[in-house]
Amino acid sequence: MEQYLEEFVHYIAVEKGLSQNTLESYRRDLKKYFQFLKSKNQDCPLKSSSQLIAEYLKDCQQKGYAPSTISRNIASIRSFYNFMVQEGKIEENPALQLETPKIEKKLPRVLTAKEVDRLLNQPQTDTFSGMRDKAMLELLYASGIRVSELVSLNISDFNPEVGFLRCSGKGMKERIVPIGTVAINYVQKYLHNGRAKQAKKVDEKALFVNHHGRRLTRQGCWKILKKYARKSKISGEITPHTLRHSFATHLLENGADLRSVQEMLGHSDISTTQIYTQITRRKIREVYDKTHPRA
The per-residue pLDDT for range 165-197, each reduced to its tens digit, is 998 877 667 888 889 899 999 999 999 888 877
Is 241 annotated in the active site?
yes
Is 211 annotated in the active site?
no
Q: Which of 189, 226, 241, 283 is catalytic?
A: 241
Give pLDDT, residue 33: 93
pLDDT for residue 124 is more than 90? yes
What backbone phi and psi angles, to 5 degrees, belong to 127?
-125, 165
pLDDT for residue 87 is more than 70? yes
Give pLDDT, residue 239: 86
Is 250 annotated in the active site?
no
Q: Where in the chain is the domain with CATH 1.10.443.10?
A: 113-290
pLDDT for residue 199 is more than 70? no
At 275, is the pLDDT very low, low, confident or very high (cuts 50, 70, 90)?
Answer: confident
Amino acid type, 248: A
Give pLDDT, residue 104: 59
β-pair type (174-178, 164-168): antiparallel
Give pLDDT, residue 202: 63
At 246, is the pLDDT very low, low, confident or very high (cuts 50, 70, 90)?
Answer: very high
**CATH number among 1.10.150.130, 3.50.50.60, 3.40.1160.10, 1.10.10.1100, domain 2-86:** 1.10.150.130
Average pLDDT value for residue range 36-58: 89
Give pLDDT, residue 103: 55
Q: Which of 56, 141, 228, 276 is catalytic?
A: 276
Q: Which of 146, 195, 215, 250 is catalytic?
A: 146
Give pLDDT, residue 293: 60
C-alpha–C-alpha distance, residues 235 and 115, integer Å: 10
Q: Identify the CATH number of the domain defined by range 113-290.
A: 1.10.443.10
Is 27 annotated in the active site?
no
Give pLDDT, residue 53: 92
Q: Where in the chain is the domain with CATH 1.10.150.130?
A: 2-86
SS3 180: coil
Cα separation of the two ends of the chain: 62
C-alpha–C-alpha distance, residues 258 and 249, integer Å: 10
Is 276 annotated in the active site?
yes
Starting from the edge strand earliest in sequence, which strands make up the sheet with 158-159, in order?
158-159, 164-168, 174-178
Average pLDDT value for residue range 104-124: 86
Give pLDDT, residue 208: 93
Q: Which of 170, 189, 218, 283 is catalytic?
A: 170
pLDDT for residue 288 is more than 80? no
Residue pair 202/170 in contact (Cβ under 8 Å)? The answer is no
Question: Any idea what DSSP says for residue 47?
Answer: G
More confident: 250 or 16? 250
Task: Indicate the helix (H) or strand (E) that contains 164.
Answer: strand 164-168
Q: Which of 215, 244, 245, 250 is catalytic?
A: 244
pLDDT for residue 263 is more than 90? no
Give pLDDT, residue 201: 60
Give pLDDT, residue 238: 87
pLDDT for residue 268 is more than 90? no
More confident: 202 or 295? 202
At 261, is the pLDDT very low, low, confident or very high (cuts 50, 70, 90)?
Answer: confident
At 285, is the pLDDT very low, low, confident or very high (cuts 50, 70, 90)?
Answer: confident
pLDDT for residue 283 is more than 80? no
Nearest to 258 by CA among 235, 234, 281: 281
